[in-house]
Amino acid sequence: MTPTTGVENTGLSGSRLVDRGVAEECLAALERRGVVIYREADIDDADLVTFSRLLGDVVPLPMGGHPAHREIQRITRDPSKSPLAAYRESTFFWHIDGATAQVPDKATLLTACQVSDDGDGDTEFANTFAAYEALPRAEREELDGLRVVHSFAASQLLVTPDPSPRERAAWDRNPAREHPLVWTRGSGRRSLLIGATAGEVTGRPAAEGRELLDRLLGWATRPEFTLRHRRRQGDLVIWDNTGMLHRALPYGPGSSRLMHRTSLLGEEAVV
């Protein structure tokens, strides 16, 4: 779909998708291209869970909000459908899911149950493997050994820059975590671990660290590293959460947009 990112499949829908061979091809494409889209796949919730299990271990969710499937989280701004609706605005900023975990989620699956009436709420991806590889060698060397503190609070500050002490205390109940700025996989591939949760660079003055993180985010989200998924009803999109920053293009609190999401447990700690 772009020179570095994305594979689009058409013509596979419903239970035909739930197949070991399809899953193997999907995993290979994720490794190579970061984002895999099945256009108008129209899979139901049970098939979404079964297909997810063919790809890896599915994260069980205590607060999924889905009555029948514990693994499915409903992504919506409607608080009657999801207890997490109030936090959706922070997904309008570039992020990876589970960045404060020692082992971030391996991949995310998102199926479009209801696209928004006015066409907003598309998802954009930025390939941080490609962005890292394209950095000049001297700059890559400068990043070696740097570490970054990721926190839920950093991502919420983007939405609410001036929180009340109570809000701040609630955010801070989610523990922060320090990660290397450059994530080196067992395979030798390297990517930038940045985004909304990245608050400060360890050992650097706050403003200097912020400037570096903002500069790298600006670099990684340049058009040559990004992909916009123009969503159609029934689309299933799957991405390598470890290397693809993503964001939702803003949609309003009254939007009918409804996605069903599953996440796959991470397999590699950040080193």
Q: Which of residues 110-129 bind Fe ion (CB under 5 A)?
A: none
Choice between 97 and 200, CB closer to Fe ion: 97
Choice between 104 and 199, CB closer to Fe ion: 104
Choice between 97 and 240, CB closer to Fe ion: 97
Tokens of 247: 């964001």
State yes or no: residue 240 binds Fe ion (CB under 5 A). no
Residues contacting Fe ion: total by CB under 5 A: 1
Q: Using CA atoms, how far apart are residues 99 and 38, in angstroms rounded to an integer?
A: 26
Interface characters, 33-62, with Fe ion (x: CB under 5 A):
------------------------------
Q: Using CA atoms, how far apart are residues 184 and 196, in angstroms rounded to an integer?
A: 20
Interface characters, 81-100, with Fe ion (x: CB under 5 A):
----------------x---
Choice between 4 and 73, CB closer to Fe ion: 73
Q: How far is the CB of 51 from Fe ion (least distance, A)?
A: 19
Q: Using CA atoms, how far apart are residues 101 and 227, in angstroms rounded to an integer?
A: 26
263, 105 Cβ separation under 8 angstroms: yes
For 218-252, give one letter per residue: b (16+ CB within 10 A) or e. ebbbeeebbbebebeebbbbbbbbbbbbbbbbebe
Q: 3-state class of 75 per DSSP?
A: strand
Q: Using CA atoms, how far apart are residues 119 and 104, in angstroms rounded to an integer?
A: 30
152: left (phi over 0), alpha (psi -120 to 50) or beta: alpha
Q: How far is the CB of 50 from Fe ion (least distance, A)?
A: 22
Q: How far is the CB of 110 from Fe ion (least distance, A)?
A: 9
Choice between 4 and 108, CB closer to Fe ion: 108
SS (H, E, C) 201-220: ECCCCHHHHHHHHHHHHHHH
Q: Which residue is nearest to Fe ion (CB)?
A: 97
Choice between 115 and 196, CB closer to Fe ion: 196
Q: How far is the CB of 15 from Fe ion (least distance, A)?
A: 27
Q: How far is the CB of 108 from Fe ion (least distance, A)?
A: 6
* Residues forming the site for Fe ion (CB under 5 A): 97
